[in-house]
Chains A and B, each alone.
Chain A
């Protein structure tokens, strides 16, 4: 135990602190996923529109999200936007803004893909039955797309949880930051804590993400 540096977890509340840090990461990703799903559906419906402007704008939006690393976006929002607009937002809000910006694009694209894959006859039939466009979406199209979307959005949750590891860079005390603090505090008494603590953090991330991604692939196979 001493050699692997696992002893630090039994000192004080170290392990609980680590779990607290993990909760911060999970909380940020859950809030962002919720926002992404709600706005993403709206954006996805908008993306299926035939208007040229909307097509160009959504193409640019998707390309920005595809190309810019999330870390860059975090820096732009947390350091850049606060400087330009002279407002004051907390690191956690910045993280949620960035993750939602990213999630809305991904969800929007998924929703758009799912909507397009619905056969045209479904739209035509509901129109023939005299349903308004809003009714068609609400009662016919959305219920069919939701099934295809649920596994994909669950996948998005795991990717967000993984990406939350970056938020330590803008000063949020999440699991990695707590891990570093524990290591620093115990540097003298337990020099090998670096190994034990990072191994446990590795394991914690895996234990959270793995079941969720299993669930996603199970649902994907089952509802395909």
Chain B
């Protein structure tokens, strides 16, 4: 292990980490929004839209992100839809994540015991009130573990961005190995930087999971 080499590589890895984080948090945010909207459409049984979203979820859950990215980045420009690599990354991550989040939140919504909506109705709450104050908060709470698992999954998936020429951690490591052949140092730094990125999220997930467990009653 050559420490001078590691120190001289640090700035490049730091830039790569920032890029990965920038794409990562945007992707996670849009994925969450997409997921909640899609889950709502399915839960509220809105016709036509529900079928379309069902197809979207199945398609994106059953194909790898790498293939989705290649399609967005290389194939779509051929039919006149050109996006910057970074936009492609965010779009790919949001579409993939949206499908996973939708599935998680949907099952959270479906797992709320019937007695909850019955009780709310007997208390004279309207349908929209029931949903807003009773069902949705509980569903969100019970899907927190799933959502956090998805967030970690999405952050891990950012490792494929190097294939569409985004200079993320993976790209940097590969590039430096190719140039200077300091394989051990580069790979060690790669591992450390992924730990720096994902370990806090994992710990935060554990804390949130404990804090937000109020949806216990009746289920």
Contacts and interface: CB of A to CB of B under 8 A. Distances in A.
Contacts of B66: 165-166, 176
A224 interface: no
Interface of A: 5, 63, 66-72, 75-76, 79-80, 83-84, 158, 162-166, 169, 176, 179, 191-192, 194-195, 197-199, 201-202, 205-206, 209-210, 213
Interface stretch (B11-19, B82-90, B182-190): B182-190
Nearest to B79: A195
B65 to A, nearest CB: 8
Given A69-B157, A166-B66, A201-B67, A75 B184 contact: no
B78 interface: yes
Given A205-B63, A213-B61, 4 more contacts: A69-B194, A75-B190, A195-B78, A206-B58
A162 B59 CA distance: 12
A198 B74 CA distance: 8
Given A169-B163, A206-B62, A72 B191 contact: yes
A80 B174 CA distance: 12
Nearest to B198: A67
B184 A83 contact: yes
B156 interface: yes
A179 B157 CA distance: 21
A210 B62 contact: yes
Contact of A213 (B62, B64, B202): B62
Contact of A76 (B75, B174, B191): B191
Contacts of A80: 183-184, 187
Nearest to B199: A67
Main DSSP-derived SS at the A contact region: helix
A84 B160 contact: no
B170 interface: yes
Contacts of B26: none
Interface centre among B64, B160, B173, B194 (most CB of A within 10 A): B64
B170 A71 contact: yes
Task: Choose among B76, B156, B157, B159 the residue with the greatest number of A CB atoms under 10 Å from its CB.
Answer: B159
A192 B76 CA distance: 10
B25 interface: no
B137 to A, nearest CB: 26
B67 A198 contact: yes
Contacts of B173: 75
6 contacts: A68-B156, A71-B159, A165-B64, A197-B75, A202-B67, A209-B63
